Amino acid sequence: MGTWLKTWLAVLCLGWLAMAPAGAQTFPDHAVRIVVPYPPGGFNDTLARVSSEKLSKMWSQPVVVDNKPGGNTTLGNAFVAKSPPDGYTILITPLPFSALPGLYGATLPYDALKDFTPLVWAGSTQNALVVRNDLPVSNLKEFIDYAKKNPGKVNYGSTGSGSSNHLSMELFMKMTGTKMQHIPYKGSAPATLAMMAGDIDALFDNVPNVLPQIKAGKMKVIAVSGVQRATLLPAVPTVAEAGVPGYEVNVWFGMQLPAGTPKPIVDKINRDMVLLLKEPDVVARFREQGVEVVASSPAEFGQLVQKEVVKWTQLIKDANIRIE
């Protein structure tokens, strides 16, 4: 091989090596958008705004929060799926994301597993099973017995079809052989108000959402949905330990990018997200809302999403759940 050819190849290889990480080295060089497929308020919004504040300082670039509610979150999800895969559009992704393929099937305007690149599993919380004060039950076993003696007569609330509290109760009914009537509401606040008014008998909801009413004695809590007791409700047993072995609903929150985002950029954003999520003030703020920081790798979050899509798609099929 001639000297000139060797020199040319060496220069070319050096050029390739320089170009490979360049995207990550210069990212970001303009504003980044975090899309929240929900209205302002709630932990999804908190995650986005905390991340926006911290990343803006780390990157010396604007990181803006863009709330895009609608279509049971499919509007915001689809927007990100169709965005350029350059790292500049990030999607907040909670548990209900994994239920949408089962709920919508072929009409879903994106592929939940193929059109996104997992970024980070940020944190997790639990749902608490609460009942109205005058329901004649004081623990989980009594609630199951009551539901079995009154099939179809117990009303339970949710924040909509496919929400984590709806799925929590559907899984509960499947595993306990009970049958209850679903009444969806547009948010946690109207659902909890409905319980206090006596319009519904039971509700699974995120621990922070119902904790004030529990502490005020306005509703009874009989179990939590995780594999371990909730930090904010240490005296309350899990559904599994209270009589339904194997029951688990992990209410997770994460972030994704459009499919095809270069790995160096994915890795850079993940590293920075892990750093900010582990900052003491962030850990404390999330814990106040009942959320424990996870701060995973992209691969770990991808495995979670895949597992959850399979789990909830099967439950939706078995229970014949439809959009209401």
Same domain, 170 and 153: yes
Same domain, 189 and 49: no
Same domain, 49 and 37: yes
Q: One-letter amino acid identity for 238? A: T
- 60-73 mean pLDDT: 95
Cβ–Cβ under 8 Å, residues 121 and 47: no
CB neighbours of 181 closer than 8 A, spacing ≥ 6?
152, 153, 154, 155, 156
* Threshold 0.85, pTM exceeds: yes
* Domain-terminating residue out of 206, 224, 242: 224
Q: Does the pLDDT value for residue 75 go beyond 80? A: yes
In which residue are the tokens 């539901």 written?
147
* 201, two tokens: 């008998």
pLDDT (tens digit, 9 = 90+) per residue, 223-242? 999 999 999 999 999 999 99
pLDDT (tens digit, 9 = 90+) per residue, 162-180? 889 999 999 999 999 999 9
According to the model, what pLDDT value does residue 4 have? 54
pLDDT (tens digit, 9 = 90+) per residue, 286-305? 998 889 999 999 999 999 99
187: left (phi over 0), alpha (psi -120 to 50) or beta: left
Q: How many domains does the chain have?
A: 2
Task: Tell me the pLDDT band of 6, cut-offs 50, 70 and 90.
Answer: low
Helices in the chain by DSSP H: which ranges? Answer: 3-19, 22-26, 43-59, 74-81, 100-104, 140-149, 164-176, 188-196, 207-215, 263-277, 280-288, 298-319
Task: Tell me the pLDDT band of 324, cut-offs 50, 70 and 90.
Answer: low
Same domain, 168 and 102: no
* Domain-terminating residue out of 163, 190, 224: 224
Q: Does the pLDDT value for residue 47 go beyond 50? A: yes
In which residue are the tokens 């399979």 written?
310
Please indicate, yes or no, if residue 160 is contained in any of the structural domains.
Answer: yes
Same domain, 133 and 205: yes
Q: Does the pLDDT value for residue 313 go beyond 50? A: yes
Please indicate, yes or no, if residue 234 is contained in any of the structural domains.
Answer: no
Cβ–Cβ under 8 Å, residues 116 and 83: no
Same domain, 261 and 182: no
In which residue are the tokens 């909801």 written?
205
Task: Tell me the pLDDT band of 16, cut-offs 50, 70 and 90.
Answer: very low
Buried-state track 81-113, b at ≥16 Cβ within 10 A, e below 16: bebebbbbbbbbbbbbbbbbbbbbeeebebebe
Please indicate, yes or no, if residue 240 is contained in any of the structural domains.
Answer: no
Q: Does the pLDDT value for residue 11 go beyond 50? A: no
Question: Is cis: bond before 208, omega within 30 of 0?
Answer: no
In the three-class reduction of DSSP (H, G, I as helix; E, B as strand; rest coil), residue 72 is classed as: helix
Same domain, 176 and 219: yes
Please indicate, yes or no, if residue 6 is contained in any of the structural domains.
Answer: no
Same domain, 133 and 169: yes
* Average pLDDT of the chain, as a whole number: 92
Same domain, 56 and 196: no
Q: Give the domain CATH number at 208.
A: 3.40.190.10
Please indicate, yes or no, if residue 196 is contained in any of the structural domains.
Answer: yes
Same domain, 69 and 211: no
Same domain, 118 and 180: no
Task: Tell me the pLDDT band of 20, cut-offs 50, 70 and 90.
Answer: very low
Please indicate, yes or no, if residue 18 is contained in any of the structural domains.
Answer: no
Q: Give the domain CATH number at 280.
A: 3.40.190.150
Cβ–Cβ under 8 Å, residues 236 and 128: yes
CA distance 60 to 84: 22
pLDDT (tens digit, 9 = 90+) per residue, 176-192? 999 999 999 988 889 99
Comparing CA positions, the residue from 289, 213, 285, 220 lying closest to residue 251 is 289
Same domain, 219 and 131: yes
* 99, two tokens: 């239920």
- 119-132 mean pLDDT: 97
Please indicate, yes or no, if residue 12 is contained in any of the structural domains.
Answer: no
Parent domain of 274: 32-124+250-319
Please indicate, yes or no, if residue 241 is contained in any of the structural domains.
Answer: no
